[in-house]
Amino acid sequence: VDYSQIELRIMAHLSGDQNMVDAFNSGYDIHAATAAKIYKVPLSGVTSDMRRKAKTANFGIIYGISIFGLAERLAIPRGEAKELIDGYFETYPEVKRYMDESIQNAKANGYVETIYGRKRYLSDINSQNSIVRGYAERNAINAPIQGSAADIIKIAMVKIQEMIKRNQLKSKMTLQVHDELNFTVPADELDAMKSLVVNEMQNVVKLKVPIIADYGVGKNWLEAH
């Protein structure tokens, strides 16, 4: 069972950007919705190439990707990458505000926090070395997002384990990998575990947008994927 686009959903929550919040709350494909806004076309007019570029921008920008980095990743001219990033921030202006404020808060406090108040200290945030400082600034933007995702799944794991014990199930939580949990489940407990795990993962915290968990089943991890 894995979280669907959890980091983008946390970005929507932290930034409060209305366009991003509305896209998630409407159940739209966030990458197609982003492409439609950036390229100023209806959702039905979004091509697979537009969606691919918007997806890379969606995930790249929350990691502080540069124009050069986006151009390299998409194999496009830097001018087009700049237009893509500019279009992204025009589409999601509150995301840009969140990023700028995260850096300023880190410079003032020396740390950033997750949704649950867990701190990430950034000793290089005021470094005179621009490369070192830039790395810290990217962490200031991303650490609250990645850190909050880590907090959320850990709390879900605790709640799921409590429910497995309470219901005296034989199923076992086997492995956590980033935003995914793997379980070893007897066939006669499969339906109960699907319901239990998805419910706990989706309701572990209330954000401004829904949290979605998807599952797959198989005789091994490869099949389940």
- pLDDT, one tens digit per residue, over 38-54 is 999 999 999 999 999 99
The answer to pTM > 0.85 is: yes
What is the rounded CA–CA span in Å between residue 106 and residue 129? 16
CB 144 within 8 A of CB 181: no
Q: Mapping DSSP to helix (H, G, I), strand (E, B) and coil, where does residue 140 land?
A: helix
- The active-site residue, picked from 2, 17, 151, 179, is 2
- For residue 63, pLDDT over 90 is answered with no
**Nearest C-alpha neighbor of 107 from the set 119, 94, 123, 95:** 123
Question: Between vectors from CA 165 to CA 159 and to CA 166, what angle results, nearest 5°?
Answer: 85
Mean pLDDT of 53-69: 87
Residue 2, pLDDT score: 96
Q: pLDDT per residue over 25-36, tens digit each?
A: 999 899 999 999
- Give Cα separations from 15 to 71, 117, 209 (angstroms): 25, 16, 12
- For residue 64, pLDDT over 90 is answered with no
- For residue 65, pLDDT over 90 is answered with no
Mean pLDDT of 61-74: 86
Mean pLDDT of 58-74: 86
Q: Among this protein's residues, is 2 annotated catalytic?
A: yes
- For residue 203, pLDDT over 90 is answered with yes
